[in-house]
A and B are shown apart, each in its own frame.
Chain A
Amino acid sequence: MNILVCFTTTPEVEMLTDEDWVIDKNLQIDTSFLKPTLDSYDESALEIALKLFDASENIKVPLELNALTIAGSGANIILKTLKALRFKRVVRIDSHEDLRFRPMAVASVLTQYVLKHAPLDVLLLGRQTSIGENTRTHLLVAEMLGWPCITQAIRIELVDRNHLVVTHQMDDGRLRQRIQTPCVLSIGDAPNTYMRVPTLKDRLRSGKRPIEILSIKDFQLSDETEELIDLEVIHHRRAGILIEGKSPEEKARKLYEGHLKGSVPVQER
């Protein structure tokens, strides 16, 4: 089974101070001085792929891991880590375009890559990035490929060369399905998926294998049916009440008496 994990690097926006949140006319903030990092959903996708690799060794199903990102050279550090973690091919499609709000373009590039580098059986993607947040790329790429897509996947088990069992989160519960490849799986809020860390020896061993670098110019950015016209910031604000008190006990009492009493269960002591 050949798995391709597609991931995005995003700037570590936690490093921004309040003064840095200056939004320009294109609704951009300057993140050029921030460290690139993996989004949590993409990190989960990569770790789930590694867990599948572990499982494949136990049940003797041949499995190959590949990783792909569309990014500038800042992503190389993550690709090097993936190399050391047993990803066979790590590919960067070199691009400095702002693709945050162009899911159709991203999906078209991924589709072209998958078709050109067949056979790939499973496409794993994080469900969204912290920038952009369009939650559409996985659906669009599945549609373009004509593959089934399962969203909000939180656990994937390897069955055999052509089958997986996928657990995915739904509004009212979790659904566990046996599915046949090829498929696109969009990874949701998956527990226990911090990405593992390669040892220095792993890094040394994988050091000579190159990162494959392709150019975005070699792909068709097919999103002419969509045009970004405007962006609007939505301020999520909720009313708040500041509880004053001389001690934590007094504040807790006021919180309980004034706001929680009757609405939360009280444990008998």
Chain B
Amino acid sequence: MSLKREQIAEALKKIVGEDHVVTDEQVLKESSVDRFRRFEAYHGVYRLPLPAAVVNVNSTKDVAAVIKFANENKINVVPRTGASATEGGLETALENSIVVDGSGMNKIISIDTYNMQATVQCGASLQELDDRLREQGYTTGHSPQSKPLAQLGGLVATRSIGQFSTLYGGIEDMVVGLEAVFPDGGVTRIKNVPRRAAGPDIRQVIIGNEGALCYITEVTVKIFKYFPESNKFLGYTLNTMKTGFEILREVMVNGYRPSVARLYDAEDGSYHFSHFAEGKCVMIFVAEGVKPIADATAAAIEEIVAAYDECEQVDPKLIERWFAHLNWDPANLAEEKTEIIETKNVCNTTEISGNWSIINDIYEVCMQRVKNEVPDLTLLGAHSSHSYLNGTNLYFVYFYNVVDCRPEEELTKYHLAIKKIIVEETIKAGGSMCHHHGVGKHRTQWIEAEYGSSYYILKKLKSAFDPNGIMNMGTIIPLEK
């Protein structure tokens, strides 16, 4: 017989202590959603089942005990650290879930500058870790826009990526080893070695699991030497995204690795760069590393771009200053909340990826369809911010005025309607529907189409590691009723 919510809370108090179990109704409401439903939340609308409790865990032992209890009693667990998720991954889809908050596990355990790796608990702040490293001349190389908010456990769980990914890679390239708790309460550690060929790379079972397989409690990431004094910023205006993709491709296939390679369309660019590039696409590069490499990378990029007549170089200071204010901190979130409530103008995003041969087609068809099919748009644009040897990503950004609908209808009328177009067009073209935000709970309807015949592997992972179905149900794999 399933436990009642009061029984769950009482049992949790016995496991981790009374002070670490929160059952305040407002906290439970706020913990039933993430930023995906922020418009509803700003209006006090909470429609999902409230969790039975939020548990603030302080150790791997706590996590193991709580998850074991949940597994034995078939209670859904939603793992959480920085709570900056945007795709519904932190939503409590089932009644009486337990939200396990690891933000208190925030220790930086070690910074090993000889072996070039740092080990932290899941709740360690990325900003704090990177600030500590930079004081010593090192960096994680990881800088997502959520850097001031995000914590390492969540970043690894969602396969996060940062603004300097073209040089340093995504989080999957940075993680050396891990510790995680699986549903039976067992603690798994994957050791920190440079590489091994001892079977499949099992780190990748954990990285990107979005809390649907296990709870990440500790992470070891690579660190890099940091040479900010060599940074070179390059900015260009140009007429079309098609040309921009060609240039990005040329930079990548010739083996250059700027830390930043970004391409904004005119609409998205108007939001950021109207003071110097009104009506134009904008392309940005940052070359970094030791000075000879940074200089050579910048020079090579300049040479590549110079061959395109439509590109005009802009003052690097314009780029440098813009870059310094790209990240979101709690003050930005508070301001956004006030602004959204007053103006009912909401911004959302959907990020996808595709090979070079299809990326411009995806861009064009999505822009056209969204503009034609979705009402009340105030801005629709896109940028590429992470490039690879074989392709790049596209980050669609859209603002809309919420008109003639209740807060609970906003997602269906706008965000999900746009997401559907972008996801379906991307999958149809052969790209991936998720580049770096994770699947969460609102792209699960396309997960089979995303994986095709390899969906079998994903399903098996879920049933093998989470046979009782207690780990963040409804995330990555849709709930079956």
Contacts and interface: CB of A to CB of B under 8 A. Distances in A.
Interface stretch (A30-38, A110-118, A174-182): A30-38
A17 interface: yes
A167 B400 CA distance: 32
A17 B272 CA distance: 17
Contact of B342 (A20, A77, A192): A192
A192 B340 CA distance: 11
A162 interface: no
Contacts of B47: none
Interface stretch (B355-363, B374-382, B462-470): B374-382
Interface in A183-209: 192-201
A223 B1 CA distance: 85
B325 interface: yes
A76 interface: yes
A16 B278 contact: no
B317 A194 contact: no
Contacts of A77: 270, 274, 278
A196 B343 contact: yes
Interface string B188-218: 0000000000000000000000000000000
Q: In which size bucket is the chain A interface?
A: 20 to 34
A200 B325 contact: no
Given A35-B275, A36-B275, A15 B325 contact: yes
A210 interface: no
Contacts of A34: 275, 321
Nearest to B273: A35
Given A74-B275, A77-B270, A77-B274, A199 B317 contact: no
Given A33-B315, A35-B274, A77-B274, A200 B379 contact: yes
A268 interface: no
B296 to A, nearest CB: 26
B401 A197 contact: yes
Interface in B333-360: 338-339, 342-343, 345
Nearest to A203: B378
Given A14-B325, A17-B324, A20-B321, A198 B338 contact: no
Contacts of B273: 35
B371 interface: yes
A200 B377 contact: yes
B322 interface: yes
A265 B403 CA distance: 43
B378 to A, nearest CB: 4
A76 B275 contact: no
B321 A33 contact: yes
A147 B345 CA distance: 37
Contacts of B399: 197
B318 A33 contact: yes
Nearest to A200: B377
Contacts of B317: 33
B345 A196 contact: yes
Contacts, number: 55
Q: Which of A33, A195, A196 has the most CB of B within 10 A?
A: A33
Nearest to B378: A197
A199 B321 contact: no
B321 A197 contact: no
A50 to B, nearest CB: 11
A199 B325 contact: no
A231 to B, nearest CB: 24
Contact of A194 (B270, B325, B339, B400): B339
A74 B276 CA distance: 8
Contacts of B324: 15, 17
Interface in B310-332: 315, 317-318, 321-322, 324-325
A34 B371 CA distance: 30
A198 B325 CA distance: 25
B378 A198 contact: yes
Nearest to A16: B321
B378 A15 contact: no
A16 B379 CA distance: 26
Contacts of A33: 275-276, 315, 317-318, 321
Nearest to A84: B378
Contacts of A195: 343
A198 B399 CA distance: 10
A214 B257 CA distance: 48
Contacts of A17: 321, 324
B206 to A, nearest CB: 31
Given A15-B325, A17-B324, A33-B317, A199 B278 contact: no
Contacts of A193: 342
A199 B338 contact: no
A194 B338 CA distance: 9
A33 B324 CA distance: 13
Interface string B276-319: 10100000000000000000000000000000000000010110
A197 B343 contact: yes
Interface in B66-109: none
Given A14-B325, A76-B278, A199 B378 contact: yes
Contacts of B401: 196-197, 199
Contacts of B270: 77
A193 B338 CA distance: 10
B153 to A, nearest CB: 20
Interface string A82-102: 000000000000000000000
B47 to A, nearest CB: 26
Instruction: Point out which of A16, A35, A196 has the most chain B C-beta atoms below 10 A from its C-beta.
Output: A35
A187 B375 CA distance: 33
Question: 9 closest A-B pairs (Cβ-Cβ)?
Answer: A35-B275, A194-B342, A197-B345, A197-B378, A77-B274, A33-B317, A33-B318, A200-B377, A194-B343
29 contacts: A14-B325, A15-B322, A15-B324, A15-B325, A17-B324, A20-B321, A33-B275, A33-B315, A33-B317, A33-B318, A34-B321, A36-B275, A74-B275, A77-B274, A77-B278, A194-B338, A195-B343, A196-B345, A197-B399, A197-B401, A198-B378, A199-B377, A199-B378, A199-B400, A199-B401, A200-B377, A200-B378, A200-B379, A200-B380
Given A194-B342, A196-B401, A200-B379, 18 more contacts: A15-B321, A16-B321, A17-B321, A33-B318, A34-B275, A35-B272, A35-B273, A35-B275, A36-B275, A74-B275, A192-B342, A193-B342, A194-B339, A197-B343, A197-B399, A199-B377, A199-B378, A200-B371
Interface of A: 14-17, 20, 33-36, 74, 76-77, 192-201
